[in-house]
Amino acid sequence: MRRLFALLLCCAVTSTASAHSPIEGVGAFYNGTFHPAMVLPHLLLILALGIWSGCQGRRHARFGVMGFALGLLAGLLLTAYGSAPDMTDTLLILVVLACLGIIWMQPLPVWLPVGLAVAAGISIGLDSPAEGADRVERALMMAGTWLGGSIILLQGAILPLVLKQAWARIGFRILAAWGAAASFLVWVMVLM
């Protein structure tokens, strides 16, 4: 009850969020930070991956976050050297795989979720070409995307580590099943 009250109090005292930084030149960084949260396939994939890693345990979560961060960095850097391919169908399949991993919920070798995390990071990075007038702006946007994506994954991984109750595991499984179903249907549509 105390935590709920504290949470409500925090919600009540927050001031209006500012979507754009007043500091000139930092806008690109913020744009990049919000980017993974604004693109639905990215957000789904990162959350599914985070929850899956967290369900597997602290070690898997730790390596999963590191693997994703490295993959994301690699993907973002690759976009600096060429045109970014359309990664929609790849992202959707990765969402399906991550969700199936959540449903399975059995202990898996660490290389499996970590491997998927690296692949997801690279795919999201390739699907997030930086836009900007000059190299500095593009670099700031890439840095923001890297930070934003990594933070979302970390939050997703922490969730099952905190919520260990049986009802939470049931909820993760049900949401993952529907996430896999929705993503697979859209993937079929993309292929058509």
Partner 1 sequence: MRNIFSIAVGLGALLMATMAAAHPGHANIDGLGGFLSGFLHPFLGWDHVVAMLAVGLWGVFLGQNAVWALPVIFPLIMVVGGALGLLGVPVPGAEVGIAVSALVLGALVALAARLPLYIAGAIVGVFAIFHGYAHGTELPAAADALHYSIGFVLATGLLHLCGIFFALLSHWPWGGYAVRLGGGVIALLGIGWLAGVA
Q: Does 93 bind partner 1 (CB under 8 A)?
A: no
Angstrom distance (rounded) from CA 137 to CA 140:
5
Size of the site for partner 1 (CB under 8 A): 24
Based on CB atoms, which residue is closest to partner 1, 26 or 40?
40
* Binding window for partner 1 (CB under 8 A); candidates: 7-15, 49-57, 135-143, 176-184: 176-184
* Binding window for partner 1 (CB under 8 A); candidates: 6-14, 68-76, 124-132, 173-181: 173-181
Q: Does 156 bind partner 1 (CB under 8 A)?
A: no
State the minimum distance, in angstroms, from the CB of residue 18 to partner 1: 25
Question: Among residues 179, 160, 6, which one has the least CA distance to residue 93?
Answer: 179
Site map (CB under 8 A) of partner 1, residues 23-42, x = contact:
-----------------xx-
Tokens of 153: 């994954």
Q: Give the C-alpha distances (Å, rounded to integers) separating 114 from 39, 59, 88, 140.
A: 22, 10, 21, 27
Find the binder of partner 1 among 27, 28, 44, 145 (CB under 8 A).
44
Tokens of 3: 């935590």
Angstrom distance (rounded) from CA 18 to CA 62:
32
Angstrom distance (rounded) from CA 154 to CA 143:
17
State the minimum distance, in angstroms, from the CB of residue 26 to partner 1: 30
DSSP 8-state symbol, 23: S
Angstrom distance (rounded) from CA 128 to CA 89:
15
Site map (CB under 8 A) of partner 1, residues 103-132, x = contact:
x-----------------------------
Contacts with partner 1 by CB under 8 A lie at: 40-41, 44, 103, 169-171, 173-186, 188-189, 192
